[in-house]
Structure 1
Amino acid sequence: MLATQRRHLILQELQSSGTVRVADLAGVLGVSEMTVRRDIDTLDAEGQLLRVHGGATRTGTFSAIEPGFVSKSAQETEAKQAIAAEALSLLRPDMTLLISGGTTTYEFARLLPRDLGLTVATNSIMVANALVPGTVGPATAATAARGGIRTLVLGGQRTPSEALVGPVTMHAMENLHADLCFMGVHGIDPEAGITSPNLLEAEANAAMIGASGALVVLADASKYGVVGLAGIAPLASIGTLITDSGIATRGARHEAADVLRQAVGDLRIAAAPSAQLRSPLPSSRTPQVSAYKGHDA
């Protein structure tokens, strides 16, 4: 298991339990206690948790730490791929799409068919790279006839998640209109809605929603209950939410799927085999305290 994967699992347990013990983590992760301590030291230095004697605790309710693209891409890989594959069913010929930054939207971009005559506008460097002609799959006569995917890259300031944000991005969004917006998010919460740790990225994402006929959120189950610093939009704004089968074990009483079904227009659950294989740590749950920050969109 990669270090980034171990640290993500540590943060997952903190999100659900409030505190973790080094000995428990070592047993579940199958590594030495020294390795766990080094991971906790790294996360403490990044401000993502607070190191305490024998373990770690959460620093607070809201997350303002924006993980990098490479770090996030190693997390929940199978779930993201399953979600991306399910999202393809929403496509129709000649659609115009807005695709936000994120590792799940990157997986989606990699799978986009080249023979539907799609137009994609994105503020994600990685998504744009995935749409370069010939980067995915062999060229076909049908692809050539339809012209592949027309790609528009929105300029702006680069973030750790390889998204482009700021005034230049917002100006580019002013006259755009899309059929669907496919969005990756940092957190999804019943009270806080969809959120980001980056204020400027939240602003850009909200503008994407406003420029689209409908919003499709692609978010693996680990995002449930996570609240970022900046609000993007309430759950009611989501036309379709695609997550993975790990959502069945989320929430204080495993009620996450039911809550989301009532809150969004359409909840779709993609099968992700590894989501059912995680072993929760034996610890008590600390109630999640939520609040909505930022603007609605």
Structure 2
Amino acid sequence: MLAAQRQHLILQEVHNEGTVRVATLAARFDVSEMTIRRDIDALDAGGLVLRVHGGAARTDSFSALEPGFANKSAFAQPAKAAIAAEALKLVRPGMTLLISGGTTTFELARMLPRNFDLTVATNSVMVASSLAAREGTGEDSGIRTLVLGGERTPSEALVGPLTVQAVSTIAADLCFMGAHGLDLQAGITSPNILEAEVNAAMVRASSRLVVLADSSKYGVVGLAGICPLSAVHILVTDSGIRAASTGALAALRKAVSEVRTVRLPNSRNGHAEPASVISPNPRQYQPPVPKGKAP
């Protein structure tokens, strides 16, 4: 087995179990413990796992640890792209959108149509950059972009009192929010207290909240709470949620107005299959009419 293949399997084991031991992995792959330590060192250097005494742990094992944007963007990328494509279906011409920081919301921002007369307010440096006009074209980006200033975090979000104040002046049709953690009891959480405050302000400033979270976020609890699951109007996730925990999808269906699960790209054509839309209660989401528009 090639080192890259073994490291991929180790990464899967870490994300499934939370922690792994060197001795256990060495026995499983029939290699020396030194070989496993080198694999863990390589994964740790890439920010994909945390090297701990005797093994490795998930990077979100510690509630206050905040991974950098580059490290997060490399994980579960096909799921994030499929989730973003499904969320894009909720966007209507003339809408005002709030978009939080995050790698999945970044994927969504890159897909936004430039001819919808959209206004986007964001605290994400990466989202704002993705909405800018292509350098050297001399063309307008087609999207009015409001950058909510503040202190920059490792995940390329802007946070702090200035950001919260700016968010309070916005009235958005939809808020698209990424999630560090998605838990039945803790709700939507972040490892950064200041970012959690900004995201909570975004929830208050929006008519509808759409959370974009791949299945690896299920059961993860960050340091600071943003909102309970009952505040989420639509959750867009991937079909891996069924394997994340027994009964996870059924529990989410009870807590959230609408759950959309996208099937991950298959090996035959590389494209995601259509989403499964589940609306278990009368609060089923209806796309809002943009402010100032007649029904």
TM range (shorter): 0.7 to 0.9
- Aligned to 1:216, the other structure's residue is in SS state strand
Pairs aligned (count): 258
Quote how far apart the aligned CAs of 1:49 are.
6.1
State the Cα distance separating 1:256 from its structure 2 match: 1.1
Instruction: Provide the C-alpha distance between the structure 2 equivalents of 1:60 and 1:107, rounded to a whole number of angstroms.
Output: 21
Q: Is the 8 A contact 2:49 2:56 kept in 1?
A: no
Bigger relative contact order, structure 1 or 2 (CA pairs below 8 A, ≥6 apart): 1
CA displacement 1:200-252 (0-9 Å, x = unmatched): 0000000000000010000000000111011111111000000011111011x
Partner SS state of residue 240, structure 2:
helix
Shift of 1:268: 0.1
Match of 2:252 in 1: 260
Of 29, 35, 38, 2:38 maps to 35
For residue 264 of structure 2, what is the aligned residue in structure 1?
A: 272
8 Å CA contact 1:238, 1:265 repeated in 2: yes
**C-alpha deviation, 1:11, in angstroms:** 3.8
SS at match of 1:151: strand
Q: Which amino acid aligns with 1:149?
A: I
CA distance in 1, matches of 2:49, 2:265: 31
With over 3 angstroms needed to count, the CA separation of the structure-2 counterparts of 1:8 and 1:197, relative to structure 1, is farther
Question: Pairwise CA RMSD of aligned residues?
Answer: 3.3
2:291 alignment counterpart: none
Corresponding residue of 1:280: none
Query: 1:121 — aligned with what?
Result: 121
C-alpha distance in structure 2 between counterparts of 1:203 and 1:75, whole Å: 25
Deviation at 1:13, TM superposition (A): 2.9
TM-score calculated relative to the size of structure 1: 0.77
Deviation at 1:59, TM superposition (A): 10
Match of 2:232 in 1: 238
Aligned to 1:215: 209
Cα separation, 1, equivalents of 2:224 and 2:7: 24
8 Å contact 2:93–2:118 — kept in the other structure? yes
* Change beyond 3 A, Cα 1:116–1:229: same
> Residue deviations 1:250-281, cap 9 Å, x none?
11x2x111111111010001121369xxxxxx
- Contact 1:19–1:58, Cα closer than 8 Å, also in 2: no
What are the equivalent positions in structure 2 for 1:89-100 lying under 5 Å apart? 89-100=89-100
Equivalent pair of 1:187/1:195 in contact (CA under 8 Å)? yes
Determine which of 23, 31, 36 is the counterpart of 2:26: 23
Structure 2: runs of 5 or more not aligned: 268-295
Residue 170 and residue 7 in structure 1: after superposition, are their counterparts in 2 closer, same or farther (change >3 A)? farther
| Partner Cα separation in structure 2 for residue 150 and residue 64 of structure 1 | 34
What is the distance in 2 between the residues matched to 1:102 and 1:2? 28
Query: Helix, strand or coil for the counterpart of 1:90?
Result: coil
Instruction: Please give the per-residue CA displacement for 1:76-109, whole angstroms capped at 9, x wherever unaligned.
Output: 0000000000001101110000000000000000
Structure 1: gaps (5+ residues): 276-297
CA 1:267–1:186 in 2, change beyond 3 Å: closer, same or farther? same
1:51 corresponds, among 53, 73, 76, to: 53
